[in-house]
Amino acid sequence: VKPCWILCAFLFSLSRSDGEEQVGQGEQKSSPARPSFGKKQLPSIPKNAVPITKAASPAPSTQSANGTHASYGPFYLEYSLLAEFTLVIKQKLPGIYVQPSYRSALMWFGVIFIRHGLYQDGVFKFTVYIPDNYPDGDCPRVVFDTPVFHPLVDPVSGAGVRRAFTKWRRNHNHIWQVLMYARTVFYKINTMDPLNPEAAVLYDKDIQLFKSKVVDSVKLCNSHLFDQPKIDDPYAISFSPWNPAVHEEAKEKMFAHKRRPEDYNKGLPVSGLSWVKPGSTQPFSKEDNPLQT
Amino acid sequence: MTSMVANGTRGDQSLVLKGVDPETCMIVFKNHWAQVVKILEKHDPLRSIVGGLGGGHGLGGGGGLGSFRFGPVPGDEASAVQNYVEHMLFLLMEEECGQNGAMGPILEFVVMENVLERLFIWSLRREFTDDMKLEQLKMYEMLIGQARQPLLHHKPVLKPLMMLLSSCSGSPSGSSSSAVETELVLLLNQLCCVLAKDPSVLELFFHTSEDQGAANFLIFSLLIPFIHREGSVGQQARDALLLIMALSAENHVVAKHIAENTYFCPVLATGLSGLYSSLPTKLDVPSEEWHCLHREDWQQLPALVQFLNSLEFCNAVIQVAHPSTRDQLVGYIHNGFLVPVLAPALHKLTLEEVMTTTAYLDLFIRSISEPALLHTFLSFILLHRHDNVHILDTLVSRINTPFQLGTVSLALFRTLIGLFCEDVMLQLVFKYLIPCNHMMLSQRRVLRERDCYSVSAAKFLALTPSCCSPEVIPPPLRKLDSILWSKGTDGSHIGTMESKEVLSEEDDCGNSCVIGSEIYLDVSYLHYLYDAQNSISHCMRACRVWSAPYDGENPPPEEYQRNTLEEADLTATPGLLELEWDDSYDACPTQLHPEEDQETRPIPDEPPKHIQELRRTAIMIVKGSYIEESEFQNDVMVYNLVAQKDAHDSAAKQEMLDESVTDQKTTNSESSISNGLSSPLDEMDSKKRGSQSNHKSLEGEDLVAQYEELIRTLGAQHSPAKTDSELKSPTDLMDEEEDEIDFNSFSPETPEAEKLPSPFGTKPRSGSRGHAVPFTGPFLSVLLSRLENMPSNSLHVNLLLTGILAQLAAYPQPLLRSFLLNTNMVFQPSVRSLYQVLASVKNQIEQCSANNKDFPELLTAAQHCLLARESSLRGQTDRIKTKPNIQPKTVVPLNKTEVYAAVLFTEFLKELAAFAQEHSILSHLPTEQ
């Protein structure tokens, strides 16, 4: 059975994020929603909320980064994370997909597809937890939903790959690097400072046994692929068996999306004007056709 | 006798005819016609010739018409014919098509017997009066409008119709009664509708016209005189013409005919000039707040309504017409309206007239939408030189004018910036930023960097004056608008949510995933983010058609610099350097076109006449000898206040600059009296002067001495000008102004005159050095300079200024974005950044607040006033939907400008911060390409 993922719809919606309404799940009417990245934004105003008279309580953690008004701290955090997220998209990491959760920008859902090597055909879901004093805190944590058998993945909690960034430095470290690292460890096995000492020892001592354990582990992980997401969140990544009624349309959209730039321009009236010849810095320098079409 | 034809009571007839079999109809028709023919022949001595006419040869010209007249027709016979004809027409109209689209028998008979032509000749045979024309016109109108089968394909129908139309055009215009005109236009409109539905008829019309001798598209030519007519006749004519225009787009022959053989385009374009001349040259400005012509304003002015109708018609024609027509029309509009009419109107002698023209121009640009027409207007503004000065430069220089001209000019630029036109933005902003001279060399590579951690936003928000900080003064409605922000930390704790998570969150936020600290946020900032996102993405979409990204690499800064330097050498003729009234005229010499060079090359030693004139007017205002309006006294006072305020600002600047620039003193007195342009200009000016005119320095020192004296007498403390001036009467101020002017020894003939203060912003500035000295261009400079005066600006000026800057902040081009929004950029010392200006405003506000213990209460009250104002405007803007309606408890008078400015400033900071934050996401989205 070939899985098709909710992710498709998400990626589609993401790609259209500059301006169009998101195909968001659980869109709330009362929300002051921003169309794009809408649900990674702040939660909506509770409809029946009692007017809150309590003065803003400046939380120490939010005053941190820029040392200005505490009340704007969350906005800086949100936008820093959005910036990180757009960086991730920009990197086009092969086989890795993430999306921030509906509830909080500090929690991202992800899935990684291993295409060759020992872990070939593995599909591992994970969650990224970002410290709330980002970018001045620790390295974001990656926790696999099912603890895959790997020297750098904790066999109980599923936590892994933290090791690569002992100290998180703003401006230098980015979340895409964490994801990239998470991907790399499945291709190039490293047994230093293992979180799963058994796996590490086995890899070094008995590669055949290690391999067979990995195969079992990959099978186990993939057998849980269609389980309900561990975290109940509208934006959690969930897999379901291929169902043409549900997925065919999304798939078509996905492929159609490749021709997007032209479609996009056709659909909307182009409101800008230009009669500047490319390469020129003179106004009205387009000679051949001075009249824009 | 006044007949069903006239009344058009068709409904009754069709009821009568229903169920009558076609054969009976045919018999009736033939009988009637036989009766008619009897009468016709009885009175027609040229019976034999009629047959000849039926053969299809033309009338032989209008001159021949008279020859048919032969003795009076008795009234009873005329009315008998009329009655028969009416019945016949109804029968014809009601007849259905034959099989396979063949003619019905009645139509066939009409065609065979040439009925309609003979009837037309019959009406000529009688007195061809207006009544007769009306009768005939109505007959055709009814036939064409209501017939059930196509009639116009048949020459025996078409030809008499053309003859009728021809005879209507033959009569000298004016002689026809308005009733005939109305009917004629109605019929023409109807014909055009038929044409639009069935373009094949167009050919017939066209060729029939040719049969008439002249290659004359009669329907079209007949409509042209009604192009600019007011009321429904004009509207119908324009609608009809538009239909033809749309047809001509597909039909090259017709298009060529229109362009080559008709006066359509010239009539249309010069008509604009005619209509423009009947517009009021001065508008009655309703209030001080007024700055542009809204619908409610122009609907009160019939002349303006008429002009706009014609302008909109031009727009519509350009939209649908064949390219040849379109090109011809825009050419005529440029050469027949913009250059000869609008350009001089923009340079009239009085402030009121100039302001009015500016408001018109703004309205016109807002009224048109077709790129080709916008191209015409914009290239007029950007490239046309009136008395050697680009219109754009003149307009920019007026932003700094006191009085309403400055505000109206601002509104015009708001419109221009809102067009997202690369050419406009290039001339206004980018050509000054492309060389990257305004920033430190090391900054060029930082230009495109993204602000990952909202550092700039934080810096903007940190400028919030302490008196306006949300902790100190909670905005009146915040408690309703605050939101709960929760930090979801560890997912493992969140799994307890129920499946109805969407509902549960609305029901009770206590049950939702609240973990960690809770913070109540100002929801208004969310709105700013939302708005910023909308305007940035809109702007980004619009700018996709632009030729370059303006990112500091494309266009390449080096190349551009080289060009401008070369040009600077070219233009550095002695004559040009003497031009000191405004460097913006030649700040970008590269825009000279070869052909323009020839016209402009012998640059006059004197500034253009209109500048001189304006300046003379200005001087007279200052001297009090300028009496135009009864309330001019107020204007004088306003001007004096502005001048005085500027004097304060400049004094402060001078102190700073004196240290760094040694030869500054020679000129500072002059530049400082001008309209408070920011220091880069002053410095540029002084550097240039210092280098080339040392001989002036003695005199200059003298000037500075007097200037400082003057400042002393004005009281050189840096308090807002208004509080000072309230103590002084206008006449006192004027006396002081007299002193100020005296030392400039004004005389319009000498070059010295050019250094006089002028309220038109045509201040002394240097010539072609523009790009050698860091400079972000006159437009940005003047905006920032006005922004710096925020505390003393009126509310509406501040709204305009912040609105324009917010609009500029939406542009995604890194050159502009980094200049406005990147607070980490390091600019050249002489370049003032938005952030610096805002910091200066913050200080002014802090000072106001410190000096006035009532400030906090006033602030709260002003917030209430502004919220009330907003909710009253909400119907129009629909920007913020969740604000409840509120009435301000106390109204803060609008002259407490510093209080309103403080509120607005705080909101503006949020707006800018929101733009900075959204840019950090949107401008870097990988999907933007």
Assign B780 a pLDDT band (cuts: 50, 70, 90).
very high
Range from A105-109, B64-68, B258-262, B727-731 that averages highest in pLDDT: A105-109
Encoding tokens for residue B167? 């005879």
SS3 B91: helix
CA A195 to chain centre: 24
With a cut of 80, say whether residue B244 has pLDDT above it.
yes
Segment (H or E) for B751 = none
B916 has pLDDT over 80: yes
Q: Which residues of B touch A47 (CB under 8 A)?
A: 506
Helix (H, G, I), strand (E, B) or coil at B767: coil
pLDDT at res. B785 = 93
Model confidence at B530, in pLDDT bands (50, 70, 90)?
very high
Q: Does the structure show a pLDDT above 50 at A168?
A: yes
d(C-alpha B564, C-alpha B587), whole Å: 9
CA distance to partner chain A, nearest, from residue B541 (Å): 7
B736 in Cβ contact with B710 (< 8 Å)? yes
pLDDT digits (tens, 9 = 90+) for B97-123: 777 778 888 888 888 888 888 888 887
- Which among B375, B382, B590 is the nearest to A291, CB-wise? B375
CB contact under 8 A, B453 and A45: no
**Is B591 within 8 Å of chain A by CB?**
yes
The pLDDT value recorded for residue B814 is: 94
Q: Average of pLDDT values for A6-32?
A: 32
* Binding-face residues of B in 881-920 toward A, CB within 8 A: 882, 913, 917, 920
Contact check, Cβ <8 Å, A43/B512: yes
B124 pLDDT above the threshold of 70 = yes
Q: Which of A86, A134, A281, A282 to mutate to test the interface with B (most CBs of B within 10 A)?
A: A281
CA distance to A80, A171, A177, per residue, from A168 (Å): 15, 9, 11
Helices (H), chain A: 6-15, 60-63, 73-91, 175-187, 197-205, 207-223, 244-256, 260-267
Q: What's the pLDDT tens digit per position in B191-235? A: 898 888 888 887 777 765 555 544 467 888 888 889 888 889 999
Q: Which of A19, A59, A268 sits opposite B517 (nearest CB)?
A: A59
Cβ of residue A142 closer than 8 Å to a chain B Cβ: no
State which of B282-286, B367-371, B637-641 shows the largest mean pLDDT.
B367-371
Instruction: State yes or no: pLDDT of B74 exceeds 90.
Output: no
Helical pair B697-714 and B632-660, crossing angle rounded to 10 deg: 120
For the cut 80, the answer to whether the pLDDT of residue A227 exceeds it is yes
A18 at the B interface (CB within 8 A)? yes
Q: Is the pLDDT of residue B507 over 60?
A: no
C-alpha–C-alpha distance, residues B203 and B207, integer Å: 6
Question: Is A22 at the interface with chain B, CB within 8 A?
Answer: no
Residue type, position A17, single letter: S
Would you call A283 and B426 a contact, using CB atoms and an 8 Å cutoff?
Answer: yes
What type of residue sits at position B178?
A: S
Which chain B residue is nearest to residue A19, measuring alpha carbons?
A: B537
DSSP string, B411-478: HHHHHHHTTTBHHHHIIIIIHHHTT-TTB-GGGGGGTT---TT-HHHHHHHTTS-GGG-TTTS--TTH
pLDDT of residue B470: 67
Q: Does A207 touch chain B (CB under 8 A)?
A: no
- The chain-wide mean pLDDT, for chain B, equals 71
pTM here?
0.72
Query: Please, what is the Cα angle at B413 between B409 and B415, to 5 degrees?
Result: 120
User: Considering only alpha carbons, which residue of chain A is nearest residue B424?
Assistant: A283
Instruction: Check residue A104 and give its pLDDT.
Output: 85
Chain A, residues 219-238, CB within 8 A of chain B, namely: 230-234
**Range of lowest pLDDT (A140-154, A170-184, B714-728):** B714-728
Give the closest residue to A277 by CA, choosing from A287, A267, A263.
Answer: A287
pLDDT at B59: 39
Residues in chain B with CB shorter than 8 Å from the CB of A154 are none
**From B454, B537, B591, residue closest to A19, measured CB to CB:** B537
Cβ–Cβ contact A156 with B under 8 A: no
Which of A28, A218, A206, A40 has the alpha carbon at shortest distance from A114? A218
Nearest-Cα distance to chain A for B266, in Å, is: 20
Residues of A with CB below 8 A from B590's CB? 281-282
Residue B787 has pLDDT above 90, yes or no: yes
> If you measure CA to CA, which chain B residue comes closest to A279?
B555
pLDDT digits (tens, 9 = 90+) for B8-38: 444 444 445 566 788 888 888 999 999 888 8
Residue of chain B with shortest Cα separation from A100: B488
CB contacts < 8 A (A, B): 296
| Position A145 pLDDT exceeds 80 | yes
**What average pLDDT does range A36-45 have in this prediction?**
34
Tell me what pLDDT residue B400 has. 86
Residue by residue, DSSP assigns B681-749 as HHHHHHHHHHHH-GGGHHHHHHHHHHHHHHHHHH--S-S-HHHHHHTS-HHHHHHHHHHHHHTT---TT
Q: How far is CA B454 from CA A79, A205, A245, B813, in A?
A: 7, 50, 44, 18
Q: Give the ipTM of the model, two decimals please.
A: 0.75
Residues B600-620, mean pLDDT to the nearest whole number: 44
Residue B261 or B420, more confident = B420
- Phi and psi torsions of A240, nearest 5°: -140, 155
Q: Given A52, A80, A273, which is nearest B479 (Cβ)?
A: A52
Task: Name B508's Cβ contacts closer than 8 Å, sequence gap at least 6.
Answer: A46
Under the banding of pLDDT at 50, 70 and 90, the label for residue A165 is confident
Summarize pLDDT for B146-174 with one digit per residue, the tens. Answer: 888 888 888 888 888 888 888 876 554 44
pLDDT above 90 covers a percentage of chain B that reads 30
DSSP H helical ranges for B251-301: 252-261, 264-277, 295-298
CA distance B647 to B638: 14
Q: What is the pLDDT of residue A267?
A: 47
CB distance B471 to A78 below 8 Å: no
**pLDDT > 70? residue B510:** no
The whole-number pLDDT of residue B285 equals: 83
pLDDT given for residue B909 in this prediction: 96
B722: pLDDT strictly greater than 80:
no
Q: Does B379 touch chain A (CB under 8 A)?
A: yes
For residue B892, the model assigns a pLDDT of 82
Residues 309 through 328 of chain B touching chain A, CB cutoff 8 Å: 323, 326-327
Residue B568: its pLDDT value, please?
A: 40
pLDDT at A215 > cutoff 50: yes
Beta-carbon contacts of B405 under 8 Å, excluding residues fewer than 6 positions away, are: B351, B354, B355, B358, B398
Q: Concatenated DSSP letters for B862-918?
A: HHHHHHHHHHHHHHHH-----PPP---SSPPPTT-HHHHHHHHHHHHHHHHHHHHHH
Q: What is the pLDDT of residue A53?
A: 31
- What pLDDT is attached to residue B880? 47
Whether the CB of B282 is below 8 Å from some CB of chain A: the reply is no
Highest mean pLDDT among A13-27, A73-87, B70-84, B413-427: B413-427
